[in-house]
Amino acid sequence: MVKMGILGAGKIAGVMAATLREMDSVECYAVASRDYDKANAFVKQYGFAKAYGSYEEMVKDSEVELVYVATPHSHHYDHIKLCLEHGKHVLCEKAFTLNEKQAEEVFAMAREKGLLLTEAIWTRYIPMRKRLDDVLASGVIGKPYMLTANLAYVVGDKERIAKAELGGGALLDLGVYTLNFASMVFGDDIEKITGSAVLNEDGVDLQHSITLTYRDGKMAALNSSALGLSDRRGVIYGDKGFIEVMNINNCEGIKVYDLERNLVSAYDRPEQISGYEYEVEASVYAIQRGETQCLQMPHEESLRMLRWMDELRSQWGVTFPGEA
């Protein structure tokens, strides 16, 4: 059983904690916050063993094996390094870092130290990803030519979205999911990536539209917003039908339609704790085998997603404090 620590005690950390306590492969061991009282309350709520009032204290605990980093995007780079420097395996929330350069550095560090470092982009790990792969491979919709995907929540007023100093914007928080969806379905051999965005007064995007054009002629049209609510659907268009993915952020089901738009098959999501358990299980599996990355989300894939987002931010004129 792997002893886990959680770095950060916010909302997403709570979802992970509630998931971990239902799992047999990990032990809910430690939680760290910059506020000890907050960490202690978190420990009592979710049944962890230890609370720490600083991140540095927790990573010095020799019992902690795997750390889940659940802090704002702006802090991921420093917190990953802190964990690796103290010999901890790391599962870090998306967006993995602010940019590709930061990710390259910490991945190299993890390889040098022989430690697992992987991105917690849960859609890469869930069983429905394999189901979608199988449906596409069956040829039921023929040759796919285009996909659309959207993800939008009314979260534009939240600091983690609105402030550049926290690595904010819809792209790193929401668009990362649509980009990953396109990558999982169509791959990564793109000819060009273009987009347009609406920025707030702090210079980060609150909504955007992205087009990926692939070298083989496929296209992906992706939309995300932190201002309005969307249906979160993905649709893959083929020459013999189309596939509808219900909720690209945590696939609830897959529906397949023929050329007459008749529903020909449907697949429901299997029972799960929260969906976070799969990235944890993958991390434990990799640690047990001495791997420094997870098969479901290799380092190169995280780097590619950041490369795409770096390019889009460059087009939009979005920079974060400290970036050149």
Give me the catalytic one of 94, 113, 192, 255. Answer: 94
Give the C-alpha separation, 113 to 160, whole Å.
31
DSSP for residue 110: H
* 73 CB-contact burial (10 Å; exposed 0-12 / middle 13-18 / buried 19+): buried
Q: Token pair for residue 278?
A: 């799969």
Give the C-alpha separation, 53 to 9, whole Å.
11
Comparing C-alpha atoms, which of 266, 257, 220 is closest to residue 128? 266
In a 13 Å sphere around the CA of 126, the CA atoms on its Cβ side amount to: 24
Q: Is 60 a catalytic residue?
A: no
Give the C-alpha separation, 134 to 144, whole Å.
14
Give the C-alpha separation, 110 to 80, whole Å.
9
3-class DSSP state for residue 256? strand
- Give the C-alpha distances (Å, rounded to integers) separating 84 from 109, 165, 186, 286: 7, 24, 33, 16
Question: Looking at the chain, how many residues does it have?
Answer: 324
Residue with tokens 């032990």: 27
Cβ atoms of 21 and 46 closer than 8 Å: yes
Comparing C-alpha atoms, which of 84, 74, 12, 59 is closest to residue 292? 84
DSSP characters over 131-180:
HHHHHHHTTTT-SEEEEEEEEE-S-TTSHHHH-GGGT-SHIIIIIHHHHH
Instruction: Give the residue numbers marked as catalytic.
Output: 94
